[in-house]
């Protein structure tokens, strides 16, 4: 069992230097602790914590009204996950966000739709989280849980945002930012799960842009692919009705041909490879950023197409262990970034299979992005 130090979460501390209201300075002045030690405590990067330092931190939290004395020091520590589903199940608050589309009708909001493939994926997520909640505790010899409390979110919430090109751009952006900011300001341990890709869910765009420090809803124009802010890139189909994106578009870079649709990703040798999308192949992305010290998890699950999204649901049901551990851990953050490649029967899809929710590809390959391509962008 592994614990994290949640000082940043209790203080509502944001690691973004533009948003820090002098938190480190105030703690240093009150406790007399070293500035670097406080900074490391806020990032959950301290391996050894003297009792006197812990006592001073507790005094600070009590005096400033962040905690009651009876809650400390226990509230400063949290059990961290050891499996993929536990990563979601251990959150106190879990919010699922889906993109909404409007068909050509006069029904207005009554005719708004959530894509069937996204619904299938949501169902599998809920199943995985609830199952993990029943089985993630320590077990005795008979298989019964030794944990008194089930490991599962105490608050489950759903939110809807407009998919790109489904309403006025200003309205789409306003709704996306509202949902994302509400999540960010919600107190306590939490997770936001965006279903779909940047082609269908603007929340996913905000998650990726925030992690890799690039401007959301703006296409990057670079001479070299290695200079892209994000280590993966969705090359849209020419007919896709898409919004500008920091991690998607039609041109990867001037020095790298990207004429085929699919998911491009950078490898350890700084070259880019393609997980294609065509009649017999498809691809999906599993991506998450976990800031342990803040108790904040952001995750995106989605296929390049609806076919891949539906198949991803089955992959999560049977092979979730391949998305753990994270590919990168350091500087107070864990990042998981995985490209899933599917190969289907060349005969294609049968109409009778359209409503099936248990699609399985002929072959499935999960590729972990190299830690180096994450680290040089995160740091």
Question: pLDDT, tens digit, for every residue of 60-108?
Answer: 889 888 888 998 888 888 777 788 999 999 899 999 999 999 876 555 5
Sign of CA pseudo-dihedral 263, 268, 269, 270: positive
pLDDT 10s digits, 331-374: 878 999 999 999 998 655 544 566 777 778 999 999 999 999 99
Asked if 147 and 253 sit in the same domain, the reply is yes
Q: Which two tokens mark 38?
A: 């406080």
* 302 in the same domain as 173: yes
Q: Are 175 and 161 in contact (CB under 8 A)?
A: yes
Tell me the pTM: 0.82
Angle at 183 between CA 165 and CA 321, to 5 degrees: 90
Verify that 110 and 49 share a domain, yes or no: no
What CA–CA distances, in Å, run from 261 to 28, 196, 240, 279?
Answer: 52, 16, 10, 11
Question: Residue 125 CB: number of other CB atoms within 10 A?
Answer: 21
CB 68 within 8 Å of CB 50 = no
In this structure, the answer to whether residues 115 and 200 fall within a common structural domain is: yes
Give me the domain span that covers residue 93: 81-378
Pairing of strands 232-235, 248-249: parallel
Q: Does 196 share its domain with 137? A: yes
Examine the domain organization and report whether 290 and 146 are in the same domain.
yes
Comparing CA positions, the residue from 78, 349, 369 lying closest to residue 208 is 369
Residues 164 and 181 in one domain: yes
CB-side neighbour CA atoms (13 Å) of 375: 10
* 234/97 Cα distance (integer angstroms): 20
Nearest to 215 by CA among 228, 232, 234: 228
148 and 7 in one domain?
no
Q: Are residues 340 and 219 in the same domain?
A: yes
Q: How far apart are CA 330 and CA 219, in angstroms?
A: 28
Q: Give how many domains the chain has, as a whole number.
A: 2
In a shared domain, residues 170 and 51: no
- Domain boundary residue, one of 54, 79, 104: 79
Q: Are residues 115 and 72 in the same domain?
A: no
Contact 25, 19 (CB under 8 A): no
pLDDT by position in tens, the chain (length 379): 677 787 887 887 776 666 656 888 889 888 988 888 888 888 888 778 888 888 988 998 898 888 889 988 888 887 777 889 999 998 999 999 999 998 765 555 677 899 999 999 999 999 999 987 455 444 444 444 444 456 789 999 999 999 998 999 999 999 999 999 999 999 889 999 999 999 999 999 999 999 999 999 999 999 999 999 999 999 999 988 778 999 999 999 999 999 999 999 999 999 999 999 999 999 999 999 999 888 899 999 999 999 999 999 999 999 999 999 999 998 878 999 999 999 998 655 544 566 777 778 999 999 999 999 999 998 7
- Please identify, among 79, 105, 129, the residue that sits at the C-terminal boundary of a domain: 79
Residue finishing a domain among 79, 105, 134 = 79
Statement to judge: residues 86 and 56 lie in one domain: no
CATH for 20: 1.10.260
Sign of CA dihedral 304, 308, 310, 313: negative
Q: What is the pLDDT of residue 49?
A: 85
């Amino acid at each position: 069992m592994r614990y994290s130090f949640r000082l940043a979460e209790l203080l509502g501390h944001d690691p973004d230097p533009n948003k820090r209201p002098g938190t480190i300075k105030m703690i240093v002045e009150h406790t007399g602790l070293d500035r670097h030690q406080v900074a490391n405590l806020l990032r959950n990067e301290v391996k050894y914590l003297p009792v006197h330092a812990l006592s001073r931190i507790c005094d600070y939290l009590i005096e400033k009204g962040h905690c009651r004395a009876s809650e400390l020091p226990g509230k400063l520590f949290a059990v961290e996950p050891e499996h993929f589903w536990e990563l979601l199940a251990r959150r106190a608050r879990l919010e699922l966000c889906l993109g909404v589309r409007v068909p050509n009708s006069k029904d207005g909001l009554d005719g708004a739709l959530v894509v069937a493939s996204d619904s299938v994926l949501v169902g599998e997520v809920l199943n995985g989280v609830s199952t993990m909640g029943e089985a993630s505790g320590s077990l005795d010899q008979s298989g019964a849980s030794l944990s008194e409390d089930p490991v599962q979110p105490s608050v489950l919430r759903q939110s809807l945002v407009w998919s790109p090109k489904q309403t006025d751009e200003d309205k789409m952006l306003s709704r996306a930012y509202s949902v994302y900011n509400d999540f960010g300001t919600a107190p306590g341990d939490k997770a936001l799960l965006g279903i779909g890709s940047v082609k269908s869910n603007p929340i996913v765009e905000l998650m990726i842009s925030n992690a890799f420090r690039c401007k959301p809803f703006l296409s990057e124009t670079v001479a070299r692919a290695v200079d892209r802010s994000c280590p993966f890139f969705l090359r849209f189909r020419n007919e896709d009705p898409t919004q500008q994106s920091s991690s998607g578009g039609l041109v990867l870079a001037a020095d790298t041909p990207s004429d085929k649709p699919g998911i491009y990703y950078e490898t350890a040798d700084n070259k880019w490879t393609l997980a294609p999308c065509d009649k017999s192949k498809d691809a999906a992305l599993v991506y998450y950023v976990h800031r342990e010290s803040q108790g904040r998890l952001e995750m995106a699950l989605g296929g390049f197409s609806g076919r891949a999204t539906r198949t991803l649901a089955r992959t999560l049901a049977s092979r979730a262990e391949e998305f753990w551990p994270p590919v990168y851990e350091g500087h107070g953050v864990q990042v998981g970034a995985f490209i899933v490649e599917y190969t289907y029967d060349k005969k294609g899809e049968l109409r009778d299979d359209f409503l099936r929710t248990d699609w399985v590809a002929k072959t499935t390959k999960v590729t972990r992005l190299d830690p180096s391509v994450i680290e040089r962008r995160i740091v």
